[in-house]
Amino acid sequence: MRRLISAFAALAALALSCAPVSAAQLPAPTGPVVLTLKGRIANANVDGTVQFDLAMLERLAGRDAVMETPWTEGTTRFSGPLVRAVLEEVGADGDTLVIRALNDYAAEVPMADATGLDTILALRMNGNLMSVRDKGPLFLIYPFDQNRELYNEKYFSRSVWQIREIEVR
Ligand SMILES: Nc1nc2c(c(=O)[nH]1)N[C@H]1C(S)=C(S)[C@@H](COP(=O)(O)O)O[C@H]1N2
Ligand SMILES: [Mo]
């Protein structure tokens, strides 16, 4: 009997963990909006999208990485939330991220680049917030420090700076 009960408990736990994540209403941003997530997302705070201010992004799990890039001189420290933490926050469910910049440059980034790599939305360069002139407010930074095989044109072209919006498709 006890074995039957524990089998049942295990099944119940499995059923719970497989239940779809329900939509959450996230708090609205209180500061200037730096990033909007839209598309295949479960959560929202403003009109079916999730708008982030700086504080909301800084609360997410992040990474500090020192590396060389084609766009900076010498070694540079980038910090900001992990893309997968941003995606978890919005309840993203898709295969592709369309990352759009202020200048309407856009890149399609496979979801695997966010889930399988420590890719960050850098908010800071050498500890300072990035101005638009400096490729801010957000710069998609691949872990070039962890994996030199990423150091090529394929990933450079996905390294969008001056990001304003991410659409989950
Ligand atoms: N916002 C924005 N990000 C961008 C681009 C752009 O034009 N605008 N070009 C991309 C491409 S195609 C590449 S190869 C690199 C180009 O970097 P470079 O202009 O320093 O050569 O940045 C990527 N990120
Ligand atoms: Mo490019």
Element (H, E) at 89: helix 83-90
Q: Which atom of ligand 1 is nearest to the CA of 163?
A: 1
Neighbours of ion ligand 2 (CB under 5 A): 157
* CA torsion through residues 121, 100, 161, 35, sign: negative
Model pLDDT, residue 21: 56
Q: Where are the alpha helices (DSSP H) in 96-162?
A: 112-115, 153-156
Q: How far is the CA of 99 from the centre of ligand 2 (A)?
A: 14
User: pLDDT tens per residue, the chain (169 residues)?
Assistant: 666 667 666 656 656 555 555 789 999 999 999 999 999 999 999 999 999 999 999 999 999 999 999 999 999 999 999 999 999 999 999 999 999 999 989 999 999 999 999 999 999 999 999 999 999 999 999 999 999 999 999 999 999 999 999 999 9
Ligand 1 pocket member 132 (CB < 6 A):
no
Q: Does the beta carbon of 35 lie inside 6 Å of ligand 1?
A: no
Cα 27 to averaged position of ligand 1 atoms, centre (Å): 33
